[in-house]
A and B are shown apart, each in its own frame.
Chain A
Amino acid sequence: MAVVTMSQALNMALHEEMARDERVFLIGEDIKDSTYGITKGLWDTYGHKRVIGTPISEAAIAGAVLGAASVGLRPVAEFMYMTFMMCAMDQVVNQAAKSKYMFGGKAVLPIVYRTMAGAGRANAAQHTQSLEAWFAHVPGLKIVMPTTPYDAKGLLKTSIRDDNPVIFIENKVQYATTRGEVPSTDYTIPFGQAAIRRAGTDVTIVALQRMNEIALEAADELAEIGIEAEVIDPRTIVPLDLDSIVKSVRKTHRVVIVHEAHERVGFGAELVAQIVQHAFDYLDAPPIRVANPNVPTPFNRTLEELSIPSAAQVVQAVRGLMR
């Protein structure tokens, strides 16, 4: 099995799905030249009818894929930077997410909205936001957040084959730096199945996307002082594999949630509420969230680092719970 980067794994999935199904096409800004290499080579193979570059207009991209999907195509749209999905929220929520319900199940809209979140490259406030909490609150959308190249390929294939709108969030800091084994064969990963990234008995750490790398780093540090952390990656937050999380918390009795999005009304809040509801009698300490401290991501490198959860913060949070 080849070791590839996150962007290469995503590229493999797109190549394979476009070859498999001629209804699949790509649309977005700068996707012919591909800023991060995700759509590299696809224009050369499939041409401008299936790899469509657009003006800088997220609303137009979201509107176009809505129309294309409603007449039987299977679009994969790219929204460079998640903050700019704000400009397409009406098309995504009021139109795509609601249509199946509003038309009595008759509207089938197989749309994948690929977008990039995550801070850590000095891209400042509008090129770093993680807005999964906005979309997780919208009935009718599935939310996919892959952490490893293997998962990225398998989950993107599942997303493209799903008959509903899917928000597929990629962490741009991982594109070139996160590597892993990815088979060149066809495989899919079902939605709603968490991955246990590390088994442990003393505390559960639920981490979203790149924060799994931070959580594993923290778990190694905690192991040195005799605390065994279990690290859980939900992989998709809608649908959510609550069973795996609750089972782990019932075993460890303690939980820390780690995500890059703002803490207030982040998805961590929903996780805490669900965990407390389903594992109240098992908890030995309050669930704690480690997240962005409710600030727009600063441009300044030093301040930016302070706004992203760190392994040290996770270790500190866990140690606080163990007392």
Chain B
Amino acid sequence: MTAPAATRAPNGATDAASASPITMAQALNRVLAEALASDPKVVLVGEDIGHAGGVFRVTDGLLARFGAARVLDTPLAESAIIGAAFGMALTGLRPIAEIQFMGFLYKAIGQLAAQAAQVRARTWGQVNAPLVVRCPYGGGVRTPEHHADSLEVLLAHSPGLKVVCPSTPADAAGLLRSAINDPDPVVVMEPIRLYRAGRELVADDAPPVPIGSARVRRTGSDVTVIAWGAMVPVALAGAETAAAMGIDAEVIDLRTLAPLDAETTGASLEKTGRLVVVHEAPLTGGLGGDVVADLVERCFWALRAPPRRVTGCDVVYPPQLLEDIYLPDAPRVAQAIRAVMED
């Protein structure tokens, strides 16, 4: 197939612009363009990703540059998107599907968790599905119902799925690269509120960020704070507030939710003896429970206080005017850091 030439620079992410700081949306766009250019087997599938360029502009310009055979606009049917992408992955393509908002992943969770995730195990390793599912997720941008959910629990509880969740433009690029290179299904959870929250330099030749590697974003000695996605800046802000109270918090960005980087989290807790986990999803049955259970099991004798979780509330994600109360913020994180020091 012949790819039409670019009619305009997608998100400004051209070679000339690569020396400038870019947003997470631009970083993802650049990696998708690279993948489409370098591997004819890469295909994008999703709602509004072509003509509209994606509701968050992540696929902006890609249809014009690579054509309708590589960038497929679909009907509003998430089960069809994942079903089709899974079939493509089984037959030699490298599909990258987009589920426009994670709350609608429920429609496709059977295809993803029961079919794609399990196919390697069910065929004794004879069949693999190199499938990437990009999911804008989370709250904080005043979306209506079903558009702010964080469903990492469904994915991390499903054997066969890898789940990554960046919090910076460079990590988004590096993790998406790893996801595309992976031979098995990988879900990329993209925090909606961080798509344009900041800019940083992202080198064109930056290496992939290995799946399963957390990143220490702030070094500290008193308490370990673990967060991911949009909660990382919140955790960092909470740590700064705590620093003003004389508490030195270490902040870890998990970056990969499945598999967990047990080494980085364990080493930090062995050092600090105190743990706070922050996430947007509701408390009960949240991934925070698993992070706590894993660390308590492995680092029990280092623990000096019971771990605390700062999370969304155990209610349906609320309408716009209530979401600031629902979502963890820096004061709540700082309060938990202080409380875990006093326990």
A and B interact physically: yes
Over the window 285-312 of chain B, the binary record of Cβ atoms lying under 8 Å from chain A Cβ atoms (1 yes, 0 no) is 1111110111011101001011111000
Q: Which of B118, B308, B343 has the most CB of A within 10 A?
A: B118
A274 to B298, CA, bound (A): 17
Judging by beta carbons under 8 Å apart, are B296 and A289 in contact? no
Asked if A267 CB lies within 8 Å of chain B CBs, one says yes
Choose from A86, A93, A264, A267 the contact partner of B285 (Cβ within 8 Å).
Answer: A267
Q: Pick the residue among B159, B287, B290, B300 that contacts A285 (CB under 8 A).
A: B300
A165–chain B nearest beta-carbon distance, Å: 12
Q: Are B316 and A140 in contact (CB under 8 A)?
A: yes
Is A265 a contact partner of B121 (Cβ separation < 8 A)?
no
Query: Known interface pairs A90-B106, A265-B287, A295-B159. Does A272 touch B305 (Cβ–Cβ under 8 Å)?
Result: no
Given known contacts A140-B316, A270-B284, is B159 in contact with A262 (CB within 8 Å)? yes
Is A227 part of the binding interface, using a Cβ–Cβ cutoff of 8 Å? Answer: no
Q: Are B145 and A261 in contact (CB under 8 A)?
A: no
B140 at the binding interface (Cβ < 8 Å): no
A43 touches B (CB below 8 Å): no
Residue on A nearest B285 in the bound complex, by CB: A137
Contact of A137 among B146, B153, B300 (CB under 8 A): B153
Chain A interface category by residue count: 35 or more
Roughly how many angstroms separate A288 CA and B287 CA in the complex, as a whole number?
A: 17
- Give the CA-CA distance A266 to B314 in the complex, in Å: 17
Provide the bound-state CA to CA distance between A86 and B314, in Å.
Answer: 22
- What's the minimum C-beta distance from A260 to chain B, rounded to whole angstroms? 13
Residue A84 is within 8 A (CB to CB) of chain B in the complex: yes
Contact (Cβ within 8 A) A265 B146: no
Inter-chain contacts of A298 with B (CB < 8 A)? 121
With a cutoff of 8 Å between Cβ atoms, the chain B residues found around residue A98 in the complex are: 145-146, 316
A273 within 8 A of B: yes
A265-B156, A296-B122 known; A238-B284 Cβ under 8 A: yes
Interface residues on B, range: 35 or more
In terms of DSSP, what is the predominant structure of the interface of chain A? helix
Across the interface, do A125 and B118 meet the contact criterion of CB distance under 8 Å?
Answer: yes
Q: Which residue of B has the minimal Cβ distance to A280?
A: B306
B307 touches A134 (CB 8 A): no
Chain A 208-262 residues near chain B, CB threshold 8 A: 238, 261-262
A102 interface contact, C-beta 8 A: yes
Q: Judging by beta carbons under 8 Å apart, are B153 and A265 in contact?
A: yes
Can you report 18 residue pairs joining A to B where beta carbons are below 8 Å apart? A84-B114, A87-B110, A90-B104, A134-B153, A134-B154, A264-B157, A264-B159, A266-B290, A269-B293, A270-B289, A273-B289, A273-B296, A277-B308, A280-B305, A286-B296, A289-B297, A294-B159, A296-B159
**Nearest CB of B to A208, in Å:** 13
Q: Which of A86, A139, A266, A269: most chain B Cβ within 10 A?
A: A269
Determine if A36 is an interface residue (Cβ-Cβ < 8 Å).
no
In addition to A94-B103, A276-B296, A280-B343, 8 A-B residue pairs with Cβ atoms within 8 Å of each other are A84-B110, A98-B145, A125-B118, A136-B285, A137-B282, A270-B285, A289-B293, A296-B160
Complex CA–CA separation, A262 to B290 (angstroms): 12
Q: Which residues of B contact A272 (CB under 8 A)?
A: 289, 292-293, 296-297
Interfacial residues of chain A within 184-227, with CB under 8 A of chain B in the complex: none
Report if A133 contacts B (CB, 8 A). Answer: yes
Q: Contact between B109 and A86 (Cβ–Cβ < 8 Å)?
A: yes
> Are A139 and B315 within 8 A (Cβ)?
yes
Residues of A within 8 Å of B22, CB to CB, are none
| In the complex, A268 has a CB within 8 A of chain B | yes
Say yes or no: is B113 at the interface (Cβ < 8 Å to chain A): yes
Whether B107 lies near A90 (C-beta < 8 A) is yes
| B281 on the A face (CB < 8 A) | yes
CB–CB B122/A124 < 8 A = yes
Q: Which of A83, A97, A101, A273 contacts B293 (CB 8 A)?
A: A273
CA distance A309 to B197 in the complex (A): 46
Central interface residue in A126, A267, A296, by most chain B CB within 10 Å: A296
Residues A273 and B309 in contact in the complex (CB < 8 Å), given A134-B153, A295-B121, A296-B160:
yes
B238 CB to closest chain A CB (Å) equals 19
Residue from B103, B104, B158, B290 in contact with A269 in the complex, judged by beta carbons closer than 8 Å: B290
Does residue A118 face the partner (Cβ distance < 8 Å to B)? Answer: no
Smallest distance from the beta carbon of B195 to chain A beta carbons, Å?
23
Question: Considering only CB atoms, which chain B residue lies closest to A140 in the complex?
Answer: B316
Asked if residues B156 and A94 are in contact (CB atoms below 8 Å), the reply is no
A322 CB, nearest partner CB in chain B, Å: 15
Given A272-B289, A276-B307 in contact, is the A137-B284 Cβ separation under 8 Å? yes
Q: Which residues of A contact B106 (CB under 8 A)?
A: 89-90, 93-94
What CA separation (Å) do A269 and B305 show in the bound complex?
18
What are the interface flags for B312-339 relative to A under an 8 Å C-beta threshold, 1 for contact and 0 otherwise? 0011100000000000000000000000
From B109, B258, B298, A264 is in contact (CB under 8 Å) with B258
On chain A, the residues within 8 Å of B146 by CB distance are 94, 98
Shortest A312–chain B CB gap in Å is 20
Contact partner, B281, options A137, A267, A283, Cβ 8 Å: A137
Q: Which residues of A contact B289 (CB under 8 A)?
A: 265, 269-270, 272-274
Q: Which residues in B have their C-beta under 8 angstroms from that of A287?
A: 293, 296-297
B290 with A296: CB separation less than 8 A? no
A87 to chain B, nearest CB (A): 4
